[in-house]
């Protein structure tokens, strides 16, 4: 099984949320799909080197139409609403992304749908994630490297929200069961995932055998959760985005 199939990222619209590897996951996928747009519904760091071209436009549909008529461009294509400062772009409203997907100009759209400020674990804020209603697949990431680290701002985005979800005090060490809870809780990775979307928890930074042992413990907890028993998820994907082949295994 390859990475695209493992993540079920071959549908028209794939969104990535969570922490610990969203951008690297998007960049791996964008080079493996045909006629693909990479975009965001939130801010996203400059990603020009991962695509053939970036178009900064408030009217992505018109830009796609013009590109299709000219036939003079290469894939994959970056589409963003504006540039903010020197280091990031601003994405589109979720409904605009749905309209991009609905055109005949593209086959796949990959979306960064929340932020984590390079932390290893997170719980979403009040106004996130920003997942388009038409999402086919939602990938929720967490890093196995969060396990054993203290529940604090140094490694966790919005630690107070994570604390509420997992029932652990700020400063306490994060356990494998805590990561499993974040990825299966309606106030964690499952927040605002459309009912019809495929939901895939992804454990990233599985870079050695010790990481894999931790990841498999987390995966077992995910697959024993109420979310799994209700059919909301069916497997967990283990990845190492620094490896030549990022797909480590599929559990479930």
Q: Give the domains, in start order, of the chain with CATH numbers.
A: 3-35+111-251 (3.40.50)
Which whole number is the average pLDDT over 186-210? Answer: 98
Residue 218 Cα distances to 13, 198, 212, angstroms: 27, 20, 10
Which whole number is the average pLDDT over 36-64? Answer: 97
Predicted pLDDT of residue 69: 85
> Are 84 and 125 within 8 A, CB to CB?
no
Predicted pLDDT of residue 108: 98
Mean pLDDT, the chain, rounded, equals 97
| pTM (whole model) above 0.95 | yes
CA 215 to chain centre: 18
Predicted pLDDT of residue 105: 94
Which whole number is the average pLDDT over 43-65? Answer: 97
Predicted pLDDT of residue 71: 77
Which whole number is the average pLDDT over 116-133? Answer: 97
Rounded Cα distance, 43 and 9, in Å = 22
Predicted pLDDT of residue 72: 75
165 confidence band (pLDDT: 50, 70, 90) = very high
Residue with more model confidence, 47 or 70 = 47
| Cross-strand pairs, 141 | 18, 202
Predicted pLDDT of residue 13: 98
Return the exposure string of 13-52: e unless at least 16 CB atoms fall within 10 Å of the residue's CB, then b.
Answer: bbbbbbbbbbbbbbbbbbeebeebbbbbbbebebbeebbe
- Strands, E assignment, the chain: 13-18, 36-40, 43-45, 53-56, 77-80, 82-84, 88-90, 108-112, 121-122, 137-143, 156-157, 198-204, 236-239, 247-251
Predicted pLDDT of residue 106: 96
Predicted pLDDT of residue 171: 98
Predicted pLDDT of residue 248: 98
């Amino acid at each position: 099984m390859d990475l695209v199939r493992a993540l079920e990222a071959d549908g028209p619209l794939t969104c990535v949320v969570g922490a610990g590897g969203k951008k690297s996951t998007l960049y791996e996928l964008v080079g493996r799909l045909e006629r693909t747009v990479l975009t965001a519904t939130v801010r996203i760091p400059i990603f020009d080197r991962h695509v053939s071209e970036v178009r900064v436009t408030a009217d992505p549909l018109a830009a796609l139409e013009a590109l299709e008529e000219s036939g003079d461009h290469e894939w994959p294509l970056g589409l963003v609403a504006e540039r903010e400062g020197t280091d990031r772009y601003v994405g589109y409203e979720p409904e605009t992304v749905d309209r991009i997907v609905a055109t005949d100009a593209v086959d796949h759209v990959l979306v960064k749908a929340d932020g984590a400020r390079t932390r290893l674990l997170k719980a979403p804020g009040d106004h996130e994630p920003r997942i388009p209603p038409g999402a086919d697949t939602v990938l929720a990431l967490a890093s196995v490297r969060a396990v054993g680290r203290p529940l604090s701002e140094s490694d966790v985005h919005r630690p107070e929200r994570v604390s509420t979800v997992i029932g652990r005090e700020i400063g306490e060490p994060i356990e494998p069961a805590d990561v499993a809870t974040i990825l299966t809780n309606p106030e964690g990775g499952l927040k605002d995932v459309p009912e019809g979307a495929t939901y895939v928890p992804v454990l990233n930074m599985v870079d050695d055998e010790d990481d894999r042992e931790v990841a498999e413990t987390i995966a077992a907890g995910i697959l024993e959760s109420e979310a799994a028993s209700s059919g909301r998820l069916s497997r967990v994907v283990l990845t190492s985005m620094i490896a030549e082949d990022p797909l480590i295994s599929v559990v479930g």
